[in-house]
Amino acid sequence: MTVLDVLKERGFIQQLTHEDEMIALFEKEKITFYIGFDPTADSLHVGHFLGMMVMAHMQNAGHRPVCLIGGGTTMVGDPSGKTDMRKMMTQDDIVYNGERFKKQMQRFIDFSNGKALMVNNADWLLKLNYIEFLRDIGAHFSVNRMLTAECFKQRLDRGLSFLEFNYMLMQAYDFLELNRQYNCTMQMGGDDQWSNILAGADLIRRKESKPAYGLTFTLLTTSDGRKMGKTEKGALWLDAEKTSPYTFYQYWRNIDDADVEKCLALLTFMPMDEVRRLGSLKDKEINIAKKILAFEVTKLIHGAEEAEKAQQAAEALFSGAGTLDNVPTVSITPNMIGMKVLDILAATEIVSSKSEGRRLIQQGGLYLGQTKVTDFDLILTDDLFENKSLLIRKGKKNYHRMVVTP
């Protein structure tokens, strides 16, 4: 079984080019491939995690990953999957974010002894002569064909800047440059990158008269097509400072039953026989699979110790076992007793705003201990606390602990 078979079995592959050639290639040699990451934030999120799992499977089979940091392309912005133009970033911000990415990737990818490479496309894109680039690369692109690409079509009504229109040429040039420097013969990416990947593979075949291949993997979506990895505070980040291990664990613990098997296959290294067994569990038994999923994914991102702490916190809340020490905790001072609950929740960021707090109360979804909050003007009093600690619940399963400290 080649790694291509593994990726197919686990449900990663959406589209690929020259399939027969690719199958023969994987059967006879090890390749260098790349996946690009535009560092638009100072942390990777769970959408990137899928790409890193693909890289890990490929590296485990002996192939060499190139993690391409988009120091140049980030200054332009990829229109794929976007409804608006991306805000401009400084080069300093891009470099800083790229360094943060590498630290997170090292949990999955072995960069020692050239087993994987991390390169930055700013090294060649920022040095390009525009006229030479247009003559050398632009001559191989048909505007008519580009406008049929999904990444451009969806933006035409809302407005597509010429800056963004260049993105496909730049990404194709990245593939060409990596092919020349590192003999990189395959680009992989999310399914929204299909048009860009095709452009790069075609450019190499035209310019170098050499084979080049593309493969897209599935985007992380729910069974009804919605993007996964969104929390009430935004993206599900891989940085513990941006999304706590407990919150990360709880996200996977609470996914829909229909998504459990898919997530086990894509986001863990568990054998597929066990994935299918766990995915087939029904009714209350599916919670066993969800606990395993939450633990395994949290362990991969944050390590076994943090996964165990998150698991203990969840057990403490839902089954009366374990410890509450690892539940997300905020501190208040004694002089805050006597203030309105909504003001304190907003100040401690347990709710993002007082408006969110009011909506929770209207919907019957805010509890202080066992008491449902029904009054917008409720005052926080000493008698709500037990040993200076108060458990706060938002919705069905989102818990915080509030403690009074001097």
Is residue 317 within 8 A of residue 399, CB to CB? The reply is: yes
Q: Which is nearest to 78 in space by CA: 189, 186, 228?
A: 189
**By C-alpha distance, which of 349, 325, 341, 348 is closest to 385?**
341
DSSP string, 258-323: GGHHHHHHHH----HHHHHHHHT--GGGHHHHHHHHHHHHHHHHH-HHHHHHHHHHHHHHHTS-S-
CATH architecture under which domain 230-319 falls: Orthogonal Bundle (1.10)
Q: What residue spans of 184-255 are helical by DSSP H?
A: 194-208, 245-253
Q: Which of 196, 190, 199, 187 is nearest to 151 (CA)?
A: 196
The candidate with the shortest Cα–Cα distance to 379, out of 345, 339, 351, is 339
The CATH fold of domain 329-404? 3.10.290
pTM higher than the cut 0.85: no
Domain spans of the chain?
3-217, 230-319, 329-404
| Whole-angstrom distance, CA of residue 101 vs CA of residue 94 | 11
CATH number attached to the domain at 3-217:
3.40.50.620
Is 91 annotated as a binding-site member?
no
Answer whether 346's CB lies under 8 Å from 357's CB.
Answer: yes
So which residues are the catalytic ones?
40, 45, 48, 82, 86, 171, 192, 227, 230-231
CA pair distance 227, 136, nearest whole angstrom: 38
pLDDT digit string (tens) for the chain, length 406 residues: 899 999 999 999 999 999 999 999 999 999 999 999 988 889 999 989 999 999 999 999 999 999 999 888 887 654 444 444 445 677 788 888 988 998 899 888 999 999 999 999 999 998 889 888 888 888 777 776 766 666 666 656 666 666 667 778 888 999 999 999 999 999 999 988 888 899 899 999 999 999 999 999 998 988 888 888 876 567 899 999 898 898 899 899 989 999 999 999 999 999 999 999 999 999 989 999 999 999 999 999 999 999 999 898 888 776 555 456 667 788 888 888 888 999 999 888 888 888 888 988 888 888 887 778 888 889 988 888 877 888 888 876 677 888 888 7
Query: Is 171 a known ligand-binding residue?
Result: yes
Task: Judge whether 230 and 237 are in contact, CB under 8 Å.
Answer: no
